[in-house]
Amino acid sequence: MSDSVFAQFTADDDQLSVALLVQPAINAALVHNRVPLVRHLTLVNRGTVPLVDVTLTLELRGPDGALTEPWTRTLTAPLRPGASTGWDDFRDVTPDRALLYCTDEAFPADYRLTVEAGDETLRLNAPSRVLAHNEWFNSPALYDSLAAFVQPNTRAVEAVLRASCWRGPAPARFRATRTARSGRR
């Protein structure tokens, strides 16, 4: 899958630099198809001394609070000056499917990244949107997820089936069309 659908957000100070690659919008189909919401996170030591005791916490928050459990990682080894490290496994950053399936209107959300390294704290806020359960955004990289919008148990299917099962003689407008096409009068 191409990364072109993901949006990159960055933050830096004298000691740290972070880059976060995330979905610009979140919907039920993406979560249903296990498309990652976060693609990659990079941390760079821009300082002159090794960084120790570095903890990163990523949250996905909406207007009513947390949409996911916090994703937290702590570096187990010092990060030397000029070095970088990254993560690309964010399977735990997944909103509750039930919430997404019952969302009837889009609402804003934010990826909030906090990096704590000793006395230093760097924060990154990446805006996003949670789309309605039947809403999607257009990107060729996500066309495979469109099948998740098929809802065979929705009430609309029942109405279409009832209408298509109508029995009896065809209405006059359909008989006239069939007759005209066959050349009969």
CATH code (residue 56): 2.60.40.10
- d(C-alpha 156, C-alpha 171), whole Å: 23
User: Average pLDDT for residues 31-38, to the nearest whole number?
Assistant: 86
Per-residue model confidence as pLDDT tens digits over 85-114: 999 999 989 998 888 888 999 999 999 999
Domain, as residue range, for 21: 3-182
d(C-alpha 128, C-alpha 62), whole Å: 9
Residue 30's pLDDT is: 82
The confidence score (pLDDT) of residue 5 equals 77
Closest CA to 95 of 51, 128, 142: 128
pLDDT at 2: 47
B/e letters for 157-182, b = 16+ CB within 10 Å, e = fewer, are: eeeeeeeeeeeeeeeeeeeeeeeeee
Instruction: Report how far residue 60's alpha carbon sits from residue 151's, in angstroms, rounded to the nearest whole number.
Output: 27
Q: What is the pLDDT of residue 6?
A: 86
Q: Does the pLDDT value for residue 179 go beyond 70?
A: no
pLDDT at 3 over 50: no
| Residue 71 banded pLDDT, cuts 50, 70, 90 | very high
- Across the range 153-164, mean pLDDT stands at 72
- pLDDT at 37 (0 to 100): 92
Average pLDDT of span 27-44 = 89
Segment among 3-12, 20-29, 136-145 with least mean pLDDT: 136-145
**What percentage of the chain has pLDDT greater than the value 70?**
76
pLDDT exceeds 90 at position 22 = yes
Task: Provide the mean pLDDT of the chain.
Answer: 83
Residues 6+ apart with CB under 8 A from 37: 22, 23, 26, 30, 31, 60, 90, 93, 94, 95
Q: How far apart are CA 90 and CA 6, in angstroms?
A: 14
Instruction: Quickly state the pLDDT bin for 28 (edges 50, 70, 90).
Output: confident
Considering only CA atoms, which of 31, 7, 36 is closest in space to residue 21? 7
Provide the number of structural domains found in the chain. 1
What is the distance in angstroms between the CA of the first residue and the CA of the last residue of the chain?
A: 57
Lowest mean pLDDT across 72-76, 90-94, 159-163: 159-163
50's CB contacts (< 8 A; 6+ apart) are 78, 79, 80, 81
